[in-house]
Chain A
Amino acid sequence: MKENEKEREFINQVEMHQGIIHKIIGLYIDNDEDKRDVRQEILCQAWKGYAHFKGQSKFSTWLYKVTLNTVLNHQKKKPQAEVQTIDESDQSTEKHELLYSIIKELNEVDKMLITLHLDGYGNIEIAKITGMTSNHINVKLYRIKKVIAERFKIEDAQ
């Protein structure tokens, strides 16, 4: 495949799936300068790695891996801003705002696991992406979901 054709194909693929990049950056990074740098670095790393992408996994899964890899290995220029806590007793607080606030408060590894889980990846797939064992993932996801359930005030309907 010619270089131009490959570049066009890559750009089209990234354009289609760049929601993944926006989402991970949004959840992990607060200040605009770091956001810009990381976004550029993700695209740069993805383009470099695209030559070796054999299509064994979906492009979106591969891009997810590159994005998380880059974000977790990135040295932030500015310290992260304090997570804004929201008033959970306020009935008008929308569920998605509460979920966003809970995920932002999690540590980087837990944040990665719940994001992948919520995006529909199964534990075996998450294990392949992260390099963690399925058992670890199971336990960690159980703990994270327990915290979320408490905050969402979900109780057994018995």
Chain B
Amino acid sequence: MNKEEQLDNVLAEAWKQLEDKKFKNQKDKLQIMEAIKLDSTSTINKLKKGLKIKIGWAVAITMGLIIFLLFQMDNAEMVKLISIGIISYILGTIAMLFSYRKINPAIGDKDILTSMKDNYKQIRGVLAAEQTWALITFIPAVILGILIARVMRGESIIECFTDPRVLKIMVISLFVLVPLMYFVSNKMNEKAFGSNLKKLEEDITKMETLS
């Protein structure tokens, strides 16, 4: 008997013992019945739910802005200003909706490598969509927040932009708050999903290469 055959025999015997001693088949019909009624707890399913909530909020804010707009119809400058907010929220929400519709948490019949790649791509996609949404809506929200009180008092948008004090606040806000928000959201995503993504990346590489 050569070394390979000898090893195969030893392994087959040890594996059988291992199955009998460590992985005994436990009959638990009730647990199976209960488990299939529950919702998936996979990362991608959690992200999908989170995205749904964010879309809900974005729609609510858009509706709120539209209602606010209806009460400001006599002020042309306010109409312009609020319209910018509404358009940016609608664009951001559409981007999130596209991302939401593309998510498929079901593993299905895909092979393991394809499934891991899909999962990796989907997690990255959702995180990118959330960041894009935040950027699209955050910048107009900052501008809106700075200008709204002045425009409501009767100043025009152009007048506000020519005031060096307003410009200074706006520039500081945008150049400090936007990168800060981007940095914080990146850090939070890394903390929440970084290890998972890294593990997926490593496993994909291990499956594709011989190293």
**Interchain pairs with CB closer than 8 A, number:** 162
| Contact A70-B17, Cβ < 8 Å, known A15-B29, A149-B7, A154-B7 | no
Main secondary structure of the interface of B (DSSP, over half): helix
Of the listed stretches B86-94, B113-121, B173-181, name the one at the interface; the rest are far from the partner chain: B113-121
Q: Which residues of B contact A72 (CB under 8 A)?
A: 112, 116, 203
Report the Cα distance A73→B43, complex, angstroms.
8
6 tightest Cβ-Cβ pairs between the two chains A and B: A131-B113, A131-B111, A43-B35, A96-B17, A47-B36, A95-B14
Chain B interface (Cβ < 8 Å from any Cβ of A):
1-4, 6-7, 10-15, 17-19, 21-29, 32-33, 35-36, 38-43, 106-116, 119, 193, 195-196, 199-200, 203, 206-208, 210
- Given A145-B7, A154-B6; 15 other pairs, CB 8 A cutoff: A15-B28, A19-B24, A40-B35, A40-B41, A69-B110, A72-B116, A74-B42, A96-B21, A131-B111, A131-B112, A136-B208, A148-B7, A154-B7, A157-B3, A157-B6
Residues of A within 8 A of B (CB): 7, 10-11, 14-15, 18-19, 22-23, 26, 37, 39-41, 43-49, 52-53, 62, 65-66, 68-70, 72-75, 94-96, 98-100, 107-110, 112, 118-119, 128-132, 136, 139-140, 145, 148-149, 152, 154-157
